[in-house]
Amino acid sequence: MKRCPKCSRTFPDESQKFCTVDGGLLISDAVFDPNVTIRATAADVAPPLQPPRDNAATSRELPDLNATIASMANAPTVAFPRNTGPTGTSTASDLSQAPASPGISTLPGTTAHLPQPKEKSNLPLILGAVALVLLLGVAGLAGVFFYVIKPRLQESQGGPVLVQDAPPAEKINTNTTAENSNTNTNTTTEDTEVAFVPPPGATKFANSTANLDGKLSEHYIDFSFYYPETWQTDKKAGVAGASNFVKVERRLPPDFTQENFAVGWYTSKGSFTADSPTFPRLVELLGATLANSFPEYRKVSEGPTKVNSLDGYEFRFVSLSKGTEKGDLQVWGRVIFLPTGIEGQTAGATLIMLATSLAPELSAVEDVGEKGEMPVILESFRFAGN
């Protein structure tokens, strides 16, 4: 399609060079390919650097409670002497009653007499013996009951006498080693997702390294999905030098996009939590690229999302393509950054979805991936190994 820059008339013949109205030199309009520039351009984006941690203490250190308890437990017990003597100031009567040492006179002409020791009573010993006899008697009666009378009663009732030892206490291993404490927190789709049953007329795509090279080969991701068999695959994707692993499209003849779906990659740490600091930066970088390629580009939303049981991060945008053979077309886009959830995986999938107002089931950007024929792709999307 060529256009006259003077009168803005268009001419379908690509070989025509001059305007038939005013003789102006015709120019070719750029071919609009919504996905030609969409690729995972965030390959070199690393997670934002964390600010250096201030080594200075910002709060008062708390005492070590265990050390405090240990020191209290090991402290010696102090026994204070028991004061059994009289208190207060000594009086003369006290002095006169105090026992004197043998052979020492307390007064002139007198000799101190030693006090006679009192005889001890045998009553406590008698009471203790009686108590011991009573205790032995009770213990003996109890033994006779449990070992003689009770078994005979049980035998007379026809029940067997069972003697069971107490069950051993359960042994709890409190020694947690690094090996058994390293729990994999990644939930696999095997446990959480029901196997997808493709509808009639669906075709399966499974990613392969057969024709890949460069960045796609280096950041290969094993995934699969189903798509309607009436959709067409882009022969420029999934081959050497391509920017996407795959792209499938629903077209309106002769060559107008209604819906399309492509898969690229981004640098990942394997999980949603680890990639969370990077997502806003990825949106910023890819959004800047899209703004240069889509007329009147505008981002309308951004935030967490889910693809089946997998956590991801998405943003949506709108655009307007003017002056096409079908008139002005609304363009709606949705991009999802999806970690694999597999430990050690250094690449995540970038799911790129585009739709236009030529798709009769869609009326807004919120419908992308929710209405039309694209939902079957998202519902069937799976990472291998999950």
Kindly state whether residues 38 and 15 are assigned to the same domain.
no
Residues 271 and 247 in one domain: yes
Question: Domain count of the chain?
Answer: 2
Range name among 11-20, 63-72, 187-196, 258-267 with the lowest pLDDT average: 63-72
Mean pLDDT value across residues 245-255? 94
* Same domain (yes/no): 238, 265: yes
Q: Which residues contact 93 (CB under 8 A, 6 or more apart)?
A: none
- The answer to whether residue 177 sits within a structural domain is no
Q: Is a pLDDT exceeding 60 seen at residue 192?
A: no
3-class secondary structure per residue, 19-30: CCCCCCECEECC
Shared domain for 330 and 298, answered yes or no, is yes
* Same structural domain, 37 and 21: no
Q: What percent of the chain has pLDDT over 70?
A: 58
**pLDDT value at residue 151:** 66
203: domain CATH number?
Answer: 3.40.1000.10
- Which residues are within 8 A (CB) of 235 and not within 5 positions of it... i.e. 6 or more apart? none
Q: Map residue 219 onto helix, strand or coil.
A: coil
DSSP 341: -
Task: Specify burial of residue 38 (Cβ count, 10 A radius: 0-12, 13-18, 19+).
Answer: buried
Do residues 36 and 3 both lie within one domain? no
Q: For residue 161, what pLDDT band results from cuts at 50, 70 and 90?
A: very low
CA distance 291 to 333: 12
- Which pTM value belongs to this model? 0.53
The phi and psi torsions of 279 (rounded to 5 degrees) equal -55, -50
> Do 311 and 333 share a structural domain?
yes
Closest CA to 376 of 236, 221, 200: 200
Peptide bond into 254 cis (omega under 30): yes
Please check whether residue 251 lies inside any domain of the structure: yes
Asked, for residue 218, whether it belongs to a domain, the answer is: yes
Whether residues 36 and 18 share a domain: the answer is no
Q: Alpha-carbon distance 256 to 295, whole Å?
A: 17
Average pLDDT over residues 198-226: 95
CA distance 19 to 287: 38
pLDDT one-digit tens code per residue, 306-321: 999 999 999 999 999 9
In this structure, the answer to whether residues 2 and 38 fall within a common structural domain is no
| 115: in domain | no
Token pair for residue 342?
Answer: 């597999």
In a domain, 258, yes or no: yes
Asked if the structure places residue 51 within a domain, the reply is no
For the chain, give the mean pLDDT.
Answer: 74
Q: For 272-303, write each residue's pLDDT tens digit.
A: 999 999 999 999 999 999 999 999 999 999 99
Could you tell me the residue range of the domain that residue 298 belongs to? 32-42+187-383
